[in-house]
Amino acid sequence: MTAIWNLASLEDRRYPALQSSLDVDVAIIGGGVTGLSTALRLLEKRKKVAVLEARQVGKGSTGNSTGNLYATVSQGLRRVRATWDDDTVREVVAARAAALDDIEERVLRYSIDCQFSRRPLYSCLPDPDDRQQRDLEAEYEASLLGGLHAKLVDGVAGLPVPVQRALFLEHQAQYNPLRYVQELASVVADQGGQVFEHTAVLDVDAGEGEVSTRSGTVTAPHIVFATHTPKGVNLLQAEMEPSREYGVAASLRGESHPEGIFWLLDDFHSVRTYRYQDQTYLVVIGEKHQTGQGEAGDGCYGNLESYAREHFDVGTFSHWWSAQQYKSADQLPYIGRSAHDNIYVATGFGADGLAWGEVAARNICSLIETGHESSRLFNPRRFTPLKSAKSWAALNAKVAKHLTTDYFTLDKVEDLDLVLAGEGKVVNIDGDKVAVYRAPDNTLIALSPVCPHMKCAVRWNAADLSWDCPCHGSRFATDGSVIEGPAYGPLTRLEVR
Ligand SMILES: Cc1cc2nc3c(=O)[nH]c(=O)nc-3n(C[C@H](O)[C@H](O)[C@H](O)COP(=O)(O)OP(=O)(O)OC[C@H]3O[C@@H](n4cnc5c(N)ncnc54)[C@H](O)[C@@H]3O)c2cc1C
């Protein structure tokens, strides 16, 4: 399963694993858009920087996103307005619009070849009822309030999906997100930054300013968690809901294709095109569900393919992928100092992190440089019970349920033979629960189903063949190794005789 962006991936630009111990000004954990944008800004301020990436640069959520850049937010500015106030809407749009400008300026300055283009964004209502019409009107008002060039239009020319009414925002943007981040890593390395791949951080000692990996320690007065969600146990995890979303891409037939960001507000599908060499591809994203609820998830890709075929003249499907997002309880991301003054976090981006990552880079750089935040709005230490109480309560009731009952009540089979090749199941073996995966060659891999992060029970994800924790979004490969999320360590390997 790989994202369409890998067609243009710079696979020959690789970075070494950390092999010794280092002293730097800033240790950045995570080589996605947040980590590398932060690294470049700090280098421009003459800081000595090391980026430590557990796997490969750009191959986290960034390289599996849709590559859309917009000054609005996908949940809707009207929701930000309802939860906060008019000034917050203005500040959110200003911060995100500045991020788009910064990305554009950087693409030009460093000649970054990532197909960055300014494009319109359409939020489309295929067949609106009264409530959807009112919501679109409210979104239009909030967009104008934020200073966006917004229009309400009837229909969208060139888009084969029937649309009755749409909100049009001009001068947004698109790029290939994987290529952008890979190019950023090259610029960071050229400017004297140190980039390490296959270097998983196993622990952070805030008091000592030490970041430990298997092959060395990085000591730094400032440490940035650009890991999408902070690693280890962090109070912010109780405020964020992790979810997964899927993507497919297929070649498009015909000559003329719509260009722009298209959000179809049916069940929610995000649609765009991508041109690689002489071929135009259609990209369709959707089928979102909470992480850990994907037991029957292998239907997600099929549903997206059916949607694409129903509306577009597509040829062969070539790419299938998925990614994770973390939604904050009060609509705004958490960017800035964590519980420790020398530890910085950037998380809670929802589905809008390509621009929030850039906002985070600006804010964290300013904090490190001057000690002052460029915006207090996103402060991770904010306390907003009136704005977040409802989602916080629902989220944590769900987590409490998973913590207290899942281990005993999860659907379990009693017989290993019921785990078919390519399947994972929690099996009851002599009274113990075991997460069992049967590989296509019939080998059994047995793991403890208890997530090492906070002891919730993991669940099988049939779409991505992984074990996913429904509480805080940690995900594990079939061999138990960490794919993403807050857990530092793997699921414990068990022996089944
Ligand atoms: C399907 C989907 C589509 C999306 N589309 C868009 C879009 O069009 N526009 C938009 O703005 N946003 C989009 N988003 C959201 C966006 O992808 C993310 O918010 C953004 O990529 C987050 O970037 P990041 O750098 O913070 O995290 P990541 O890109 O996930 O990078 C974090 C990195 O940290 C590394 N890491 C983790 N743990 C460790 C460790 N222990 N040691 C070292 N490294 C570690 C990971 O390997 C990873 O590479 C989408 C999200 C989804 C789910």
DSSP string, 382-417: ---HHHHHHHHHHHHHHHHHHHHHHHHHS--BS-GG
Among residues 73, 66, 74, the alpha carbon closest in space to that of 322 is found at 66
Residue nearest to atom 15 of ligand 1 (CA): 351
Answer whether 103's CB lies under 8 Å from 110's CB.
no
Distance 219 CA to ligand 1 centre (A): 25
Q: Tell me which long-range contacts 182-185 makes (C-beta under 8 A, separation of at least 24).
A: 182/9, 182/10, 182/13, 182/57, 182/58, 183/10, 183/110, 183/112, 183/113, 183/114, 184/33, 184/36, 184/37, 184/40, 184/106, 184/112, 185/13, 185/15, 185/31, 185/36, 185/51, 185/57, 185/58
The pLDDT-based confidence of 72 (bands split at 50, 70, 90) is very high
> What integer pLDDT is reported at residue 492 of this predicted model?
96
The pLDDT-based confidence of 296 (bands split at 50, 70, 90) is low
The pLDDT-based confidence of 402 (bands split at 50, 70, 90) is low
Answer whether 281's CB lies under 8 Å from 273's CB.
yes
Distance 352 CA to ligand 1 centre (A): 10
pLDDT of 400 > 80? The answer is: no
Length of the chain counted residue by residue: 497
- Of residues 329 and 276, the one with the higher pLDDT is 276
Answer whether 57's CB lies under 8 Å from 181's CB.
yes
- Name all residues whose Cβ lies below 6 A of ligand 1: 29-35, 52-55, 59-62, 65-68, 200-201, 226-228, 231, 245, 247, 285, 323-325, 346, 349, 351-355, 357
pLDDT of 258 > 80? The answer is: yes
The pLDDT-based confidence of 4 (bands split at 50, 70, 90) is very high
Q: Return the best residue to mutate from 228, 268, 289, 304 for the ligand 1 pocket (most ligand atoms within 8 A of CB).
A: 228
Specify the residue for token string 């084969």: 160
Average pLDDT of the residues of the chain? 92
Give the pLDDT mean for 119-133: 93
> What integer pLDDT is reported at residue 267 of this predicted model?
82
What is the rounded distance in angstroms from the CA atom of residue 192 to the CA atom of residue 51?
Answer: 11
- Kind of pairing, strands 334-337 and 314-328? unpaired
Residue nearest to atom 14 of ligand 1 (CA): 351
> What integer pLDDT is reported at residue 429 of this predicted model?
84
pLDDT digits (tens, 9 = 90+) for 424-460: 999 888 888 899 999 999 999 999 999 999 889 999 9
pLDDT of 128 > 90? The answer is: no
Which of 21-35, 237-251, 263-277, 404-418 has the weakest average pLDDT? 404-418
Angle at 128 between CA 125 and CA 134, to 5 degrees: 95
Q: Return the best residue to mutate from 62, 68, 202, 304 for the ligand 1 pocket (most ligand atoms within 8 A of CB).
A: 62
Q: Return the best residue to mutate from 65, 114, 178, 197 for the ligand 1 pocket (most ligand atoms within 8 A of CB).
A: 65
Distance 348 CA to ligand 1 centre (A): 11
Distance 61 CA to ligand 1 centre (A): 3
Q: In what order do the strands lie in the sheet with 493-494?
A: 424-429, 432-438, 444-447, 493-494
Give the pLDDT mean for 370-387: 81
Residue nearest to atom 4 of ligand 1 (CA): 65
Q: Return the best residue to mutate from 5, 59, 61, 213 for the ligand 1 pocket (most ligand atoms within 8 A of CB).
A: 61
CA distances from 232 to 202, 227, 470, 474, 487 (A): 9, 11, 16, 10, 6
DSSP string, 213-266: ETTEEEE-SEEEE-SSS-SSS-GGGGGEEEEEEEEEEEEE-SS----SEEEETT
pLDDT digits (tens, 9 = 90+) for 153-172: 998 988 999 999 999 999 99
Distance 406 CA to ligand 1 centre (A): 28
Residue nearest to atom 35 of ligand 1 (CA): 30
- Of residues 280 and 375, the one with the higher pLDDT is 280
- Of residues 36 and 455, the one with the higher pLDDT is 36
Give the pLDDT mean for 21-43: 98
- Rounded to the nearest 5°, which phi and psi values hold at 459? -130, 155
Distance 31 CA to ligand 1 centre (A): 9
Among residues 274, 244, 99, 318, the alpha carbon closest in space to that of 178 is found at 274
Question: Which atom of ligand 1 lies closest to the CA of 356?
Answer: 11
pLDDT digits (tens, 9 = 90+) for 197-233: 999 999 999 999 999 999 999 999 999 999 999 988 7
What is the rounded distance in angstroms from the CA atom of residue 452 to the CA atom of residue 465?
Answer: 19
Question: Which atom of ligand 1 lies closest to the CA of 326?
Answer: 19
What is the rounded distance in angstroms from the CA atom of residue 23 to the CA atom of residue 41?
Answer: 19
> What integer pLDDT is reported at residue 395 of this predicted model?
61
Answer whether 143's CB lies under 8 Å from 77's CB.
yes
What is the rounded distance in angstroms from the CA atom of residue 185 to the CA atom of residue 237?
Answer: 28
Give the pLDDT mean for 104-110: 98
Distance 347 CA to ligand 1 centre (A): 9
Residue nearest to atom 37 of ligand 1 (CA): 227
Give the pLDDT mean for 80-88: 96
- Of residues 240 and 67, the one with the higher pLDDT is 67
Residue nearest to atom 33 of ligand 1 (CA): 30
Distance 59 CA to ligand 1 centre (A): 8
> What integer pLDDT is reported at residue 294 of this predicted model?
67
Residue nearest to atom 48 of ligand 1 (CA): 60
Question: Which atom of ligand 1 lies closest to the CA of 68?
Answer: 8
pLDDT digits (tens, 9 = 90+) for 261-272: 999 998 899 999
The pLDDT-based confidence of 369 (bands split at 50, 70, 90) is very high
Query: What percent of the residues of the chain are helix, what percent strand, and what percent coil, each to the nearest 5?
Result: 30, 30, 40
> What integer pLDDT is reported at residue 407 of this predicted model?
56
> What integer pLDDT is reported at residue 410 of this predicted model?
58
Question: Which atom of ligand 1 lies closest to the CA of 246?
Answer: 1
Q: Return the best residue to mutate from 354, 364, 464, 481 for the ligand 1 pocket (most ligand atoms within 8 A of CB).
A: 354
> What integer pLDDT is reported at residue 213 of this predicted model?
97
Q: Is 136 helix (H, G, I), strand (E, B) or coil?
A: helix
On the 0-12 / 13-18 / 19+ scale of CB atoms within 10 A, 68 is: buried
The pLDDT-based confidence of 406 (bands split at 50, 70, 90) is low
pLDDT digits (tens, 9 = 90+) for 313-365: 999 999 999 999 999 989 999 999 998 999 999 999 999 999 999 999 999 99
pLDDT of 381 > 90? The answer is: no
Distance 60 CA to ligand 1 centre (A): 5
Give the pLDDT mean for 108-124: 97
Answer whether 23's CB lies under 8 Å from 203's CB.
no
What is the rounded distance in angstroms from the CA atom of residue 261 to the CA atom of residue 71?
Answer: 12
